[in-house]
Amino acid sequence: MASGVRSITLSLGLGAFLVLNGAFAADPAGSTGKLVRLRFSDPAQLEALNTSGQYEVVEVKGDRAIAIQHPAPTAGKLAAVLAKRVSLAEAGVAGLETVLENVDDQLAQFRAQGNVGKYHTYASALAELADLCSNYPNLLKSESIGKSYEGRDLMAVRLTGSAGLEAEKPKVLIFGLMHAREWISAELPFYLLRYLLTNYGKDPEATKIVDNLSIYILPVSNPDGLEYSQTQFKMWRKNRSPQDGGTGVDVNRNFTVGFGAGSSDYVDSDVYHGKAPNSELETRAFCSLFEREKFIASLSFHSYSELVLYSWGKDTSLPPDAVELTKRGKAMADLNGYTPGQVARILYTAGGATDDTFYQTYGAWAFTFELGTEFVPADKKIEPICKQNLPAVLLFLKTAIDSARPTTGIARQDRPKISNFFSLYDIYPLK
């Protein structure tokens, strides 16, 4: 990685963390971990922390990073192995200091009030999707794409209008809440959905988008994790599937492409990749949906850091369509004010994630927005964050219409026909 590639300016939001420090006693089930900050001189040091089993890097700013340091096992052979890994990883960084003793205290406001404020719960998300489908039956249909370990539906809706033959329309996927604690990532899908539905037939741009695409929207991709995070007020990241010696897999490290790169084989790690690629029900549900629908593009929402991300996450090499990915990423970042870049080059190695697999295996233009400057912003910030990102999301949708596929992925004879509804460059010329 070239020097200076991490010279991006992000807000650490440490003031809020420090104010909350010590405000509440630790959860009876035990703290998720402590928040620490550090300095590094080589990106490989961040990968060493992530793979050590005890750290999860959550933000990078220049040569500084914020990480969650998880409790370490205290007995047994595994404890000794992890202790050695952690010691080696820590030896490569400087200025390691605690910012917040209990990272769960970032949810202190919600814990104190006993609810999640204006954020969607899993139940309220299902209810709103049902209401929207009832109110817009000619535009919207719901579908469960699969079940979680605890039996919750991964509920999606398909939005499309009347123009053209549905079978010929390009299909796109937009999804959020793959990581349980990233509550804001479920809000933008709902904001987009309401915007397109209420403006259909009134605003020419929204009408063209809905008429000329089949848009699949899945606001909550990890319902079990969300339920746990919101009912226990914990900064939980993974799903809730039982594992040997622990609970949960980071679904966004469980996909095939780059599996194991930059993630951990320690089950209690927040970035535990699972026993094998596609071991999780959520992962398999996404892959089955992609195989069936052959999406031309996908956009996922995470938090936080104000980034527009694209492949590769598995390593720092350039993908085959690097020029086009960069052009599209920059065009979207110009609209939301975020920093665009390749995951492994501006953050850290993150193999087994959705974007790499959706791009390489299924031939989709795959992007991720890292929303805001904290995992769970105060709920008064929900609408401003959504409003800030809406133009970039609309551009993502417009570029999916009449767009050629990447050079990767499904064989050309298997690719769905794309009708020439109207030219991409008549809407928004990429420069």
Active-site residues: which are they? 370
Q: Is 274 left (phi over 0), alpha (psi -120 to 50) or beta?
A: left
**Structure-block tokens of residue 176:** 């959020």
The amino acid present at 246, given as its one-letter code, is: G
Helix, strand, coil percentages, rounded to 5, for the chain: 40, 20, 45
**Structure-block tokens of residue 386:** 């959504």
| Sheet of 365-370, strands arranged across | 140-147, 153-159, 214-218, 171-175, 297-302, 365-370, 307-310, 339-342
Bridge partners (DSSP) listed for residue 100: 35
- Does residue 34 sit in helix, strand or coil? strand
Question: According to DSSP H, which parts of 200-304 are helical?
Answer: 204-212, 223-232, 281-293
Please state, in angstroms and rounded to a whole number, the distance separating the CA atoms of residues 365 and 400: 8
Q: What are phi and psi of 51, to 5 degrees?
A: -85, -10
| Sheet of 94-100, strands arranged across | 55-61, 64-69, 34-39, 94-100
C-alpha distances in Å from residue 202, one per residue of 137, 165, 206? 18, 22, 8
Please state, in angstroms and rounded to a whole number, the distance separating the CA atoms of residues 357 and 122: 26
**Structure-block tokens of residue 155:** 């509920």
Question: According to DSSP H, which parts of 66-186 are helical?
Answer: 77-91, 108-113, 122-135
How many of the other CB atoms lie within 10 Å of CB of 30? 11
Q: What are phi and psi of 246, to 5 degrees?
A: -175, -165
Bridge partners (DSSP) listed for residue 147: 153
Q: Between β-strands 339-342 and 307-310, what pairing exists: parallel, antiparallel or unpaired? A: parallel
Element (H, E) at 17: helix 14-20
Bridge partners (DSSP) listed for residue 299: 174, 367
Nearest residue to 183 (alpha-carbon basis) of 97, 121, 272, 275: 121
